[in-house]
Amino acid sequence: MAQRETLGRPPGPRGHWLTGNTRAYEADRIGFLRRCHREYGDVFSYDEQTVFVIDPDLTHDVLTRTGHSFVTELAPFDMRRDLDEAGAQATAWMSARRATWPGLNRAASAAADGRTVEILDAVVAGGAGRELDVLTSMRAFTARAIADYCFGADARGVPGLLHDLIRATRPFTESSYEFPAWLPLPRHRRFFRAAGDLTEALTGIVRQRRASPAGDAPEDLLGSLLAAEPAMPDEIVTSTLHSVLMGGHGVPAAALTSVVWELARRPGLVGELRDEADGPVSGTAPLPSTPSTAARLPLAEAVVRETLRLYPPAWLMTRTARTATRLGDWSVDPGDDLLLNAYLIHRDPRWWQRPDEFDPTRWLSGRPAPGPAYLPFGAGPRVCLGSALALRQLTLATSRLAQRFAVESPNASSVALEFMGRLAPAGLRARFAPLGR
């Protein structure tokens, strides 16, 4: 106790007397954060309740203590910020999370290789060499891929509902202001309608499947959840699928958009990826045994890992302190929000050589494993549940795009990263011209 009293709140910019730092942050989010980092160090206050953290060890400390000292599930628009309710939801989610893992682990993810490639081919070939908005196309791919992973042939209609929900979520991710949910704003109505439509569709699929005779082995994630012991109630199965669909859609699409950005600017790298995909021991065709993609497609996987370093789609992770606690040399009060900045950690010259350079070779075998300064999938008990699937899907997609298409972009050299909900190059356009192989 005596020690806690010597701790204080981290320093930070005072900002405008009325609007605080919001206007400066909204004008240039990453520029503002870089300035604060330079001026105040790895931990700084943004306002009385918000602290940014750009230190790898402290970030891991917060992520590891999620569930005890910190919570992550404040419901959207919950202005009451009920920390006890958030803690109870976290406990319920952890048991659903454990039951979900067998359906998302490496072996289960590998079984989807063939469908991943088929869906990618269909979506990209559907663009038939036209110039496309890359993020929209990649979302079309990831929405179909994750819906197929969850429901197999029952997935029809789900990608469209996911698309609607992402669109309805956009106004909230673009702004730092939040209004109470009871305000009858059009954006609130759109969001609740889209979320309700998705839940209704998922409930229908779950009930129908539960009523049909079970096969020998689960063939999709829903089958695996329905086979879980002890049995999961239908509402938990539905809400778990909801989380997986949302987590497995927008974030990987943002990552793939950044991959395409790099491919469009690096014809030499595309050639090397093509050679690797055509090589004797690899190829993007599914293999009966399931070696890691790093064994089959080391360069493609290195491109994905490096892309996730330079452009982590989840560039900011949020936690709320549940109790008064210590963070390094600082004290944190209950209700304080901590914003953990993977983007700036991934670009910090203290942890990375040539941090702003895109260099996939840093991931090839023989190189040292990344330390705590690499966290595109988060860490601790709430680390990304889909990381095995994501790495696999993205590696296969990267390899396949390079192997089968010429990637040409009219604006790859002029677009910039958009630091909104999900980090991605804004407005990137590209043409995927089939190579006739």
Find the binder of ligand HEM among 13, 376, 421, 425 (CB under 6 A). 376
**Max CA pair span of the chain:** 72
Contact track, ligand HEM, 17-56, x by CB under 6 A: ----------------------------------------
Q: Does 236 contact ligand HEM by CB under 6 A?
A: no
Name residues whose C-beta falls within 8 Å of residue 199's C-beta, 6 or more positions apart in sequence: 238, 242
* Alpha carbon separation from 187 to 74, 358, 423 (Å, rounded): 19, 38, 22
Candidate segments 159-167, 261-269, 387-395, 403-411, binder of ligand HEM by CB under 6 A: 387-395
Between 116 and 188, CB nearer to ligand HEM: 116
Name residues whose C-beta falls within 8 Å of residue 271's C-beta, 6 or more positions apart in sequence: none
CB 129 within 8 A of CB 155: no
Residues in contact with ligand HEM, total (CB under 6 A)? 25
Q: Least distance from C-beta 18 to ligand HEM, angstroms? A: 31
Q: Least distance from C-beta 129 to ligand HEM, angstroms? A: 27
Q: In a 3-state reduction of DSSP, which class is residue 77?
A: coil
Candidate segments 3-11, 12-20, 331-339, 379-387, binder of ligand HEM by CB under 6 A: 379-387
Element (H, E) at 137: helix 134-151
Q: Least distance from C-beta 390 to ligand HEM, angstroms? A: 4
Find the binder of ligand HEM among 58, 158, 232, 389 (CB under 6 A). 389
Q: Does 87 contact ligand HEM by CB under 6 A?
A: no
**DSSP readout, 245-263?**
HHHTTHHHHHHHHHHHHHH
| Strand partners of residue 198 | none
Find the binder of ligand HEM among 86, 124, 255, 299 (CB under 6 A). 255
CA distance linking residue 147 with residue 247, whole number of Å: 12
Candidate segments 122-130, 244-252, 331-339, 423-431, binder of ligand HEM by CB under 6 A: 244-252
Q: In a 3-state reduction of DSSP, which class is residue 400?
A: helix
Residue closest to ligand HEM when measured from CB atoms: 386
CB 283 within 8 A of CB 344: no
* Alpha carbon separation from 426 to 120, 129, 255, 356 (Å, rounded): 22, 21, 12, 19
Contact residues toward ligand HEM (CB under 6 A) are 72, 97, 104, 146, 243-244, 247-248, 251-252, 255, 308, 313-314, 317, 376-378, 382, 384-386, 389-390, 394
